[in-house]
């Protein structure tokens, strides 16, 4: 099914950040997250952030101009994580994952200076990279403080959420229906050499029956209801988190509590691009 399977798993070699003194964490972060980041994110899972895309002048009035210093993106990312924590995300492992993934490498170079503001940003084809808060919140709900094994994401987009998931789950499968975005995600993720992500091009509404059951399923696009195939592919005891609705959307948590029993909880309001059938 996936054309990229030959390319994954990829080695971690090129993303090892040796974390010298320049890589020390900011005191601006909440204490727990700092501790957790130090404990849980192994050096091999952090990413080099000396990317000169962050050297340009920001067109955004509230976003400071970023000087041409490599590690500056670490500081902006730490500030982003602090904001996400202030917004209520408590899961240390999720906050550490957000701190480890270089979000600016998932947006086009002209938008890199805005990568760490709390907003969704365009990634082409009328789609967006989700805002950092919602990525973190959905991952936190999915994890529910437990170790995740097999996770499925519907709507790879640029690959950012998949990269975050790769640090909190053993295996991540992600499906994208727009070929060009599937290719973009491959391009974005390849240099990071994340070994536990499998990208698939296809209609995510059908899930991946050949890989199911999943102990977590996360949707990055909103349908009027959660596709039934996905409910069936959830392991008993597993969690699915999805935006549901049209103009007004809510985050819906579905827990499979038995072979034929699912519980649903509405979590909070949200705003996502629509879930569409078929591939393009
Ligand atoms: N996860 C991304 C968000 C991408 S936006 C991130 O990290 O930022 C949502 C994505 O869902 C879009 O790329 C859109 O093309 C995709 N999508 C919508 N319907 C889909 C479907 N049925 N199957 C797979 N992907 C779908």
Residue 93 near residue 37, CB atoms below 8 Å: no
Distance CA 6, CA 255 (A): 33
Please tell me the pTM assigned to this model. 0.81
User: Cβ–Cβ contacts within 10 Å for residue 119, how many?
Assistant: 14
154 close to ligand 1 (CB < 6 Angstrom): yes
List of residues 6+ apart from 35 with CB closer than 8 A: 92
Nearest CA to ligand 1 atom 10: 155
Angle between helices 132-143 and 72-86 (to 10 degrees): 60
Q: Which of 217, 125, 236, 136 is nearest to 172 (CA)?
A: 217
pLDDT of residue 73: 87
Provide the 3-class DSSP secondary structure of residue 135: helix
C-alpha distances (whole Å) from 130 to each of 34, 197, 220, 221 are: 24, 19, 8, 10
Provide the 3-class DSSP secondary structure of residue 247: coil
- Mean pLDDT, residues 258-275 taken together: 98
49, 130, 166, 174: the catalytic one is 130
The encoded tokens of residue 184 equal: 């973009």
Residue 47 near residue 160, CB atoms below 8 Å: no
Ligand 1, atom nearest to 129 Cα: 8
Nearest CA to ligand 1 atom 26: 155
Residue 167 near residue 270, CB atoms below 8 Å: no
* Lowest-confidence segment of 20-24, 135-139, 189-193 by average pLDDT: 20-24
Distance CA 87, CA 66 (A): 25
Mean pLDDT estimate for the chain:
81
Evaluate the omega torsion of the peptide bond into residue 103 and state whether it is cis, within 30 degrees of 0: no
Residue 28 near residue 78, CB atoms below 8 Å: yes
Evaluate the omega torsion of the peptide bond into residue 213 and state whether it is cis, within 30 degrees of 0: yes
Q: How far is the CA of 34 from the centre of ligand 1 (A)?
A: 31
219 close to ligand 1 (CB < 6 Angstrom): no
More confident position, 62 or 101: 101
Distance CA 222, CA 205 (A): 11
Q: How far is the CA of 6 from the centre of ligand 1 (A)?
A: 23
- Mutating to test ligand 1, I would choose from 124, 158, 221, 223 the residue with most ligand atoms within 8 A of its C-beta, which is 221
Q: CA Rg, the chain, in Å?
A: 18
Q: Is 130 an active-site residue?
A: yes
Q: How far is the CA of 105 from the centre of ligand 1 (A)?
A: 18
178 close to ligand 1 (CB < 6 Angstrom): yes
- Mean pLDDT, residues 7-22 taken together: 29
Q: How far is the CA of 25 from the centre of ligand 1 (A)?
A: 32
80 close to ligand 1 (CB < 6 Angstrom): no
At 197-243, the pLDDT tens digits run 999 999 999 999 999 999 999 999 999 999 999 999 999 999 999 99
C-alpha distances (whole Å) from 123 to each of 115, 146, 160, 181, 216 are: 12, 31, 11, 8, 25
- Mean pLDDT, residues 83-100 taken together: 98
Distance CA 18, CA 87 (A): 31
User: Cβ–Cβ contacts within 10 Å for residue 230, how many?
Assistant: 23
Distance CA 29, CA 31 (A): 6
Residue 157 near residue 218, CB atoms below 8 Å: no
- Mean pLDDT, residues 112-116 taken together: 95
- Mutating to test ligand 1, I would choose from 102, 119, 130, 176 the residue with most ligand atoms within 8 A of its C-beta, which is 176
pLDDT of residue 71: 66
């Amino acid at each position: 099914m996936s054309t990229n399977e030959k390319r994954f798993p990829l080695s971690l070699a090129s993303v090892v950040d040796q974390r010298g003194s320049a890589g020390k964490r900011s005191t601006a972060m909440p204490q727990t997250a700092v501790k957790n980041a130090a404990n849980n994110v192994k050096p091999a899972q952090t990413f080099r952030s000396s990317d000169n895309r962050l050297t340009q002048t920001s067109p955004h009035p509230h976003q400071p101009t970023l000087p041409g210093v490599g590690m500056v993106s670490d500081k902006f990312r730490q500030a982003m994580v602090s904001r996400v924590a202030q917004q209520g995300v408590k899961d240390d492992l999720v906050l550490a994952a957000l701190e480890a993934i270089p979000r600016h490498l998932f947006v086009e170079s002209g938008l890199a200076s805005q990568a760490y503001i709390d907003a969704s940003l365009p990634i082409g084809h009328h789609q967006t990279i989700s805002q950092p808060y919602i990525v973190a919140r959905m991952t936190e709900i999915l994890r529910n403080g437990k170790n995740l094994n097999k996770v499925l994401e519907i709507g790879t987009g640029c690959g950012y959420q998949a990269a975050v998931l790769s640090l909190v789950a053993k295996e991540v499968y992600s499906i994208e229906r727009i070929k060009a975005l599937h290719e973009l995600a491959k391009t974005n993720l390849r240099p990071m050499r994340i070994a536990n992500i499998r990208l698939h091009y296809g209609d995510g509404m059908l899930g991946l029956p050949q890989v199911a059951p999943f102990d977590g399923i996360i949707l990055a696009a909103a349908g009027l209801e959660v596709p039934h195939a996905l409910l069936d592919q959830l392991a008993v005891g597993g969690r699915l988190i999805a935006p549901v609705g049209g103009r007004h959307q809510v985050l819906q948590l579905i827990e499979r509590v038995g072979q034929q029993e699912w519980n649903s909880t509405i979590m909070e309001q949200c705003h996502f691009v629509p879930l569409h059938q078929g591939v393009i």
